[in-house]
Each structure stands twice: as C-alpha cells, then as structure tokens.
Structure 1
C-alpha cells in the first residue's frame, strides 16, 4: 500500500469529532478507559487526539499480538464472569460465541451516542452485530470483502488469458473457476490452481444463506444441500490436482507464496498485505486482483467493538467506540493498517477510491473492494461453535482429502465431528 502522509493526530481527531458529534462537554472527573484489541486496528495515533478533545479521559490500549489467544482469554473470562476491558474488540469469526453471551454486554443502540444510526454501516455489517434478541452488541470496524488474486505470469505460461474481461469470465462462478482450474493443471503439467481447499471452502460457505448451523444452533450438515454441493465441488477439484495442499499462514503456505506453488487465491481485502509480505519483492507485479468473485460477493473477516456490562464507564466507552468506528477514523485505520472500512460514507471518499497498490500492478484496491463489499447479501447466521467447526472439524477433514482420503467417507466423519461440537 502506498505511504500516505499522516495528519497530526490531534487535528484529525478534532475534525472527526466535529463531524461525528462525539465531542461533548469537558469530562468532570478523570477516568481511564481500557481498549482491548488484537493485531493492528490502526488506532495507536488516533487515541492521543481523542484524549486531547476529551479532557479527563485517558485511553489505555491493551493489544494482543495474536487473535487466537486473545479470543480464548475473552471467552474464558466470559464463562467465569471475570472483569473485561471497557471496550473489547471481537473478530467476526468469534462473534457468534460473544453474541451467545449478549447478556454480558451493553446494548449500544441504547447507551451509544444518539447520532450514531444503523445507516452508518453497510446493512449486513450492522445486522451481524446484533444478538438474537435484537441487542446491538458491537459497532462494526473493518470488513473483509472477497475478491480473487491470481498470478498473471503463471496463467500466461499455461496459456490461460490474463486480460480483465477473460479473467472475470473465468472467475464468474465456482463452476467456471474450477473448470479453469482443470485447464490450468493440465496445461501446466500438474501445477496447483489454488493453495488450500480449506481456504476455498471457507469462502464458499461464507456466501451461503445458511452455514453450518441454523438459528436454533443445530447442525445443518445433513439437510443443507448447498453446503454439501460446495464440499463436492472443492473435493472434486482436489482430486483433479487443483489444490497445493498448503496450510494458510503457516510456513508451508508462506513458502508457497514465495515459490509460486499455486496460481490463484481467495483474497479478502486484508490478504493483500499478507501476500506482499510473504511472496516478497521478487514477485512484485506478478500478482493481480480482479473485482469479480465466483457466484457474487462474500465477506471473510472484520471486527467489532463491544462494551461489556462489567465496565464501570459504559456510556463513555460507547462514545469512544462510536468515534473509533466513524468513517473518518476508519479511513485513517485503512491508510495505516489496510483494514477496509465498513462505513457507507467511507466508500465515496477520494482517499479510498484513489488507493492504489503497486505490488498488484497498480490496482485501485479501494475501488475493487468497495464494489465487492456492496455485493454481499444478508449476513449468514453463525451460532456458537461455528469457528470451532471450521478450525477443528472442516480444515482437518479437507486436509485428509488432500492427502488421499475418500471425500464421501470423510463427509460422514465431518457430520459426526460437527455433532460433537453442537447438538
């Protein structure tokens, strides 16, 4: 991502507060608000500005490096009824487990600033932050709209087209995508089309109206025909040699990016930074991205800011969470960390629409992902255990298929595995 000169934090904060109405009268007493996050949210140089415009408030940022341990700790504290931070960030993949404890979180629709309306966010992002009983548990931060990344040089070497129109045709549906994969494997003499069946399947599942669980939190695997069709498509592609059988975010997956072990990859917006970092400067310009994703739009990733009921400063915490998730602050977070905003007004910002990525051949990534975000439909319901199903049941099952196991037999094992997680 190109480097953009940062504004002075205080000036940026003052302007943003004026625009969002978040700034109120001076706080009569001193208080410290604890903000717990993981990874990079892009908030570090915003917080001093908030403190400047809100005398008496100090914000203490507690950031975990890895999201997995962070969420394990969060869920453990929820189960035990222990004290949480005034604001707790929650990643989309763990949101269902948090929503199952909605009684331990404030309703932001009631305690948040009155001028923060649902229309601030994309409708699907806002609705996904609501619990079954209608409580708004989280203000949306970023999202992960899905596009497709591909190696132009590898497609050219295999005699496949790389012009934008032809690429869009190849990636228009999952059927056309896997058919193109068959051609690539044959013409490249056995090279892989995509990196991981688990990554591909996860994206396909996220597109479905119903995922692993219904709204009563029961398994759908024995009745969800669309889910089984996705399994059959992915495992069929594996049997044709399309998967490199790599583990995303692990050393083998990173090595595969460096060596060109596969030609295409499911690309939520946050994936671009990972590809650039792991594929390295030697592959700059070889990667490209298209604003087409098989069978429409989809989302993978993104987070929310929640205010636990245990906070002694709920209204002040909600005001800070509202300010951090305003379009101005989320555009800043996009510039410094690459987290794509979920706020509607951000999508018309010249800063976002002009954002260009030289590593991906000068692609206007702001325009690409804004277009993809608008294609996402209603949020899929994800019940408690959804993330555990993906991580501990589905991913190992698909790995076994990549290692030669029979897909039909493994599917029966998947059904049993899911029933061990949920009724």
Structure 2
C-alpha cells in the first residue's frame, strides 16, 4: 500500500469476556488507508454485541516494528493486525503465534474467494491460512498525454502500448522524449526499479529466504537499464513521497509514472485541478503484468476473542466491503467476486482521460500469475538500501559504485 508519514499508534488486544457495557470489544490495527472508517460503524450496527476500536499508523514500517516487538513480548497486540506484503515473510516465520483462519474463520470463507496468488502468499507450507487478503496493487502505467504530444511522441493508445511493450522500448522512447522536451521521462529511478524488481520470478530472496541480490543476475541487469536511463537524463531525480516529488506532479516535471492502482490518488492529489484530463492510464506495462503492494488481516493468538475477530476480518475482506473501501480510499480489491462485479467495473475516475479506470486495474490484476516471494528484509532493502543507492546515482555517483553500495547495504540488513 501507499506509504505516507504519520505517527505510531499503540494498540492492545481486548480483555476476556464482555466489557462493562455488555459488549465484546475488538481492536484492529492498520496503517495508511484501508477504507474502514465507514465500514466499522456499519458492522457495529448489524452486530450490536460488538464494539470496534481501530488504531492506524501512517507508515507501514513503524506499524510492523510495533507488531514484531509485541509478538516478542507476548502481549499488547490488537485482535486483528494488518500485515503488508513486504513484511509477510516475517509473520510467516512466526506463524505459530497467529490463528489458522481455516480453523477459526467462517466456514464459507475459502481461499477461492481471492486471486490464487493472493491467497497462496498467506498460506504456510503446512497449509495454514494466517491472513485474509485485503487490497492489491495491480500495476499499469500513467502518462501525460499533453507532454507526449508536445514532444512529438504518439498519444494513440495502441501506439503508446507499442512504446511500453518492453523496458528497452520504454527507455528508448524516453531518450526520444528528453531530446525533444525540457521535462524528464520518469519521476524517480527507484519507482521504476521497484516495478522491474517485482516482475522477476525471484527477487532479493529465494524461497528458502536466502539473500540472492548478488547472485541474481536479473537484478543487476535491471539496475544497469535504470541507471543508464538516469545518465541519459531521463529521471527527474525526485525522492518519492518527498515534498519535491509531490510538487513535481503539479509542475509537470515528468511525463510517465509507474502506476499501481493506489497511485491514482497521489497522481490526482499532487497534480491538482489544473492538470485534470492530462493524465492517461494504459495497461501496457513494460516487462509484463505485476503487483506492487497489498495487505492481509491476521488474528494473533494473543486475541481473547479470536472467533469474533476472524468473523470481522472475513466481513471486512468480503467483495462488497472491499468495493466500498475502494470507493472510499482507493485500496483495490483482491477478491474475484469484486473484480467481476459491475459495481466495481463501472467505476471511472474522471480526472484521467482514460475511461473505465477500474476495468484497467481489474484486468491487470487477473494477468498476474504469481506473487514474488518477499524475504524477511525485503521491504527494508527496497526502501532503505536500493532507493538511497539509486538516489546517489541520480546525484552523480557512478552506477557501479551505486550497485556496490546497494549490495553491501542489503548484506548488512540480512545479517
């Protein structure tokens, strides 16, 4: 999910039995925007014996640090804890401290409710289901139609798809663009690299949780392509989520953007009303379909009301509720029933020139065949090692020196 700033909110599991008001109190800990603010009162209205308290952090990393600390302490966790995909392997390693939702959850909630790769990622090797899938981040590409036209690049959707057919053709189009424009081709090397990384069959770790950044030649090949584009002037050299990056949308500092479904909000919010109708979205992603982001709801064994917590988690992740959450805050549904729903597919964001934006992302989600295994430090490597190393290259460090920085940093984290 999209990461933004925010303060850490502590939370604890509920007490044994009903509270003084006669209700069972459940707690749920999330981060960023899950879209539950209106859903929780709806659930309470239909379940008068349940009272729900949600605590929410702005950043995913502090949320997960808090979770892991409380797992180690053996107390203090919420009845429902949200887990982002980049931290899922750390939870799977401690699966004994989480309830198997196949055992305590509603009998009619089967893995078949979700896209197969989404359900598989939260299933342990011995078949336990420790998380109900919430959102996903199917990737498309956003581009400024007006800037393409000004630089003499085609704007017809089919011609744009041809330019975005592979990473080689994408960067070749970027060379032509920057030769005919004062604007950069993309916003940030790390934002492009992250999509390329997610497309690989094996990422920073293999499925045995061994760090393979130095031996996985495909990672280095992607590094070389992105940093070559940087040296050619294709990057706006902006730090993602920073103030200059936010402003870069409004000032038309770049022409293309790797665009998981949740990126529609930042694109619109940062670009402002003066750029309405200038951004388009295409389902042609260089290198093929992939996913970037998404989370799960888990029920730790610390919960005093695991059955009620599992029932709430199942309801929140049902197709109907996920469509409501998407309308409210933008987390894209991972359930097949939602992805096929006319209620979802009819949705369009009028800010973009592309019609039927929900159809674009639903189609992209179904094209993803598997979820890449994320190792225990995967998220930290991407955010705290790879991104700074690529930023160093954008500021003048030689690409080979930046790669050494990345490899050494990943090894230190993985110790």
Same fold (TM over 0.5): yes
Match among 63, 66, 80 for residue 73 of structure 1? 66
CA deviation map 1:293-333 (0-9, x unaligned): 11211111111101011001111111110111110111111
User: 2:154 aligns to what SS in structure 1?
Assistant: coil
CA deviation map 1:385-404 (0-9, x unaligned): 11111111111110111111
What is the aligned partner in structure 2 of residue 182 from structure 1?
175
Distance 1:236 1:362, change over 3 A: closer
Is the Cα–Cα contact under 8 Å of residues 281 and 354 in structure 2 kept in the other structure? Answer: no
What is the aligned partner in structure 2 of residue 369 from structure 1?
361
What is the aligned partner in structure 2 of residue 109 from structure 1?
102
User: 2:124 aligns to what SS in structure 1?
Assistant: coil
User: 2:294 aligns to what SS in structure 1?
Assistant: strand
What is the aligned partner in structure 2 of residue 415 from structure 1?
407
Q: Does 1:313 align with 2:291?
A: no
Post-superposition shift, 1:132? 4.2
What is the aligned partner in structure 1 of residue 213 from structure 2?
221
Match among 32, 38, 52 for residue 59 of structure 1? 52
RMSD: 1.4
Match among 273, 289, 295 for residue 281 of structure 1? 273
User: 1:90 aligns to what SS in structure 2?
Assistant: strand
What is the aligned partner in structure 1 of residue 165 from structure 2?
172
Is the Cα–Cα contact under 8 Å of residues 146 and 300 in structure 1 kept in the other structure? Answer: yes
Post-superposition shift, 1:239? 1.0
In 1, Cα distance between equivalents of 2:366 and 2:168 = 23
In 2, Cα distance between equivalents of 1:411 and 1:44 = 43
Moved more, 88-97 or 310-319: 88-97
CA deviation map 1:245-293 (0-9, x unaligned): 1011110101111101110000001101111111111111111111111
Q: Does 1:161 align with 2:154?
A: yes
For 1:388-403, what aligned pairs fall within 5 Å after superposition? 388-403=380-395
Q: Does 1:152 align with 2:119?
A: no
Count the aligned residue pairs.
Answer: 394
User: 1:169 aligns to what SS in structure 2?
Assistant: helix
Is the Cα–Cα contact under 8 Å of residues 217 and 422 in structure 1 kept in the other structure? Answer: no
In 2, Cα distance between equivalents of 1:404 and 1:352 = 45
In 2, Cα distance between equivalents of 1:229 and 1:421 = 22
User: 1:317 aligns to what SS in structure 2?
Assistant: helix
Is the Cα–Cα contact under 8 Å of residues 291 and 371 in structure 2 kept in the other structure? Answer: no
Post-superposition shift, 1:230? 0.8
What is the aligned partner in structure 2 of residue 23 from structure 1?
none
Moved more, 225-234 or 146-155: 225-234
4+ aligned runs moved over 4 Å, structure 1: none
Is the Cα–Cα contact under 8 Å of residues 292 and 372 in structure 1 kept in the other structure? Answer: no
User: 1:288 aligns to what SS in structure 2?
Assistant: strand
Moved more, 216-225 or 113-122: 216-225
User: 2:369 aligns to what SS in structure 1?
Assistant: coil
Match among 35, 42, 46 for residue 49 of structure 1? 42
What is the aligned partner in structure 2 of residue 248 from structure 1?
240
| Structure 2 unaligned regions, length at least 5 | 1-21
User: 2:29 aligns to what SS in structure 1?
Assistant: strand
TM-score after normalising by structure 2: 0.92
Post-superposition shift, 1:66? 3.4
For 1:253-272, what aligned pairs fall within 5 Å after superposition? 253-272=245-264
Post-superposition shift, 1:196? 0.3
What is the aligned partner in structure 2 of residue 25 from structure 1?
none
CA deviation map 1:347-394 (0-9, x unaligned): 121121111111102521110000110111211111111111111111
Match among 319, 337, 352 for residue 329 of structure 2? 337
Match among 15, 18, 31 for residue 38 of structure 1? 31
In 2, Cα distance between equivalents of 1:64 and 1:273 = 18
Q: Does 1:130 align with 2:144?
A: no
Moved more, 95-104 or 396-405: 95-104
Post-superposition shift, 1:79? 3.0
In 2, Cα distance between equivalents of 1:89 and 1:38 = 7
User: 1:379 aligns to what SS in structure 2?
Assistant: coil
Post-superposition shift, 1:412? 2.2
What is the aligned partner in structure 1 of residue 17 from structure 2?
none
Post-superposition shift, 1:30? 3.2
What is the aligned partner in structure 2 of residue 406 from structure 1?
398
Post-superposition shift, 1:133? 4.2
| Structure 1 unaligned regions, length at least 5 | 1-28
